[in-house]
Amino acid sequence: MRIKPESRIKKAAGCAAAMIFAGLSAYTLWTDLHVYVSHYSLRSDKVSEHLRIAQVSDFHNDHLLGSKMLEKVRSESPDIIVITGDFIDRNRTDISYALDTAEALAEIAPVYYVPGNHESAISAYAELKDGLTQRGVVLLGSLPVRIGSDISLYGISDPYFVSDDNQLGSAIIREYLSYITQDKARFNILLSHRPEAFEEYAASGFDLVFTGHAHGGQFRFPGIGGIFSPAQGILPEYDSGEFRSGGTTMIVSRGVGNSIMPLRIGNPPEVVVLDIAP
């Protein structure tokens, strides 16, 4: 019995679709198991010398990617390293691994840290905080930490330390920011976990803000961007990359690890490296 041409076409199309799906799945798994570096740069007449910053965000105690993340950071030779929250994961909290990883980062360059929503949800946060301090990590707050002669670092905690109601997040962040007094002659950098409060950061006049939390939108597609982010929901506005408003630049890291959703699509884990130059 002869096979009809239509049947052969359908079979060939089915095989092609299966091969494409298998190829995309293999590529997704491959990229999810590697850490990539995203480079940014900016210039400011407020600074007199070059500074290279490496950002690690949303590490989530990722045992598979920890050594790869460290290798990438080390290879970039940063002057300082900033951690923008969710260094641990509330569902698989491993304080000793987080502290070992932080210690390894501190051997590369000075490390500055703010906590995210996952830190706010664990009972062992005090242990984590003390352990980080003992390993030389600086926990940032409303008082400036001076870097060189021109740059000041500030940090705020995640609003979940006050309330887990997302509707209150921006108001809590505004209150946090009200405690900060900036020297506008200096280049002022803020570390915060939440990108959705960009308007608040810009209104406060920071020159540069590092954030995370959005995980790149988890699934990313060309022409669409990220699909979902905590607090921002479907098609988040601030999912990944560089955003500007007035004199404020915000960098949103896609993060290193994952939490509830273990799979990324079109959204590989990243370390951010930013160069500031006069």
pLDDT single digits (tens) 119-140: 999 999 999 999 999 999 999 9
The second-level CATH assignment, the architecture, of 36-277 is 4-Layer Sandwich (3.60)
Section 90-115 average pLDDT? 97
In whole numbers, what is the pLDDT of the chain averaged over residues?
91
Distance of alpha carbon 242 from alpha carbon 252, whole angstroms: 6
- Angstrom CA distances, 205 to 160, 211, 257, stand at 24, 16, 30
C-alpha angle 208-213-217 in degrees, rounded to nearest 5: 105
Q: Is pLDDT above 50 for 7?
A: yes
130-151 as b/e: b if 16+ CB within 10 A = ebbeebebbbbeeebbebbebb
- Comparing 2 with 250, the larger pLDDT belongs to 250
Q: Which helix (H) or strand (E) holds 276?
A: strand 270-277
Q: Is pLDDT above 60 for 15?
A: no
What pLDDT score was predicted for residue 4? 55
Other C-beta atoms within 10 Å of 4: how many?
A: 9
- Angstrom CA distances, 71 to 119, 200, 265, 277, stand at 25, 34, 23, 25
> What band does 16 get if pLDDT is binned at 50, 70 and 90?
very low
Structure tokens at 174: 């505004």
Structure tokens at 87: 């260094």
- Stated pTM of the model: 0.90
**What residues does each domain of the chain span?**
1-32, 36-277
Section 31-50 average pLDDT? 92
Per residue in 211-227, pLDDT (tens digit) is: 999 999 999 999 899 99
Exposed/middle/buried for residue 203 (C-beta within 10 Å: 0-12, 13-18, 19+)? middle
| Least confident piece of the model among 46-55, 76-85, 236-245, 255-264 | 255-264
Per residue in 173-212, pLDDT (tens digit) is: 999 999 999 999 999 999 999 999 999 999 999 999 999 9
